[in-house]
Amino acid sequence: MLGNWKGYYRFDNERIQKVIGYNETEFEIVIDKFDGKEFFGKVNDDEKTGGMKDTGEIIGRLENNEVYFKKIMPRNCSIALNGERVYSEKKHPTLYYSGRLSDEGKKIEGKWRFKRQLGFIFYIIPIIYNPGNGTWRMELK
């Protein structure tokens, strides 16, 4: 698990993916701590392919060939209908990744998702919504 991983993610919702303006968003993850089960590292999205600014943290675990990790970004980023990124100092919702490590240990692919969130219409009507989910893949470099 240790090392530099390059990969991409994409939304399952094609309308959201179209607003982002790219077929997939590239990222790089550096895993610098791994005890055989748990791992920790840093993640940087590629802004040129629709990714978020800032460096985030990765906290995960490996169970057999199943990989699970959380991507924690320091600032919230939302995407306007024109594709513009809007940043705030509010914490970004945690992203949850799951996938399968290849037998040779150099590729992982799987699904990512946000947990459902509570929002309000007109600041008074509560709704529960899913901000997004999709697929991802990365390879050890």
What local confidence, expressed as pLDDT, does residue 137 receive?
98
Write down the pLDDT at residue 129: 54
Q: Are 38 and 54 in contact (CB under 8 A)?
A: no
Instruction: Provide the number of structural domains found in the chain.
Output: 1
- Which residue range forms the structural domain that includes residue 114? 3-140
Confidence tier at 92 by pLDDT (50, 70, 90)? confident
pLDDT in tens, 112-130: 998 765 566 777 777 665 5
pTM: 0.86
Count the alpha carbons within 13 Å of 60 in the hemisphere toward its beta carbon.
28
By the 8 A CB rule, do 37 and 66 touch?
no
- pLDDT 10s digits, 34-71: 999 999 999 999 999 989 889 999 999 999 999 999 99
Instruction: For residue 97, give the CATH number of its domain.
Output: 2.40.128.120
From CA 60, how far away is CA 97, in angstroms rounded?
Answer: 9
CB 85 within 8 A of CB 79: yes
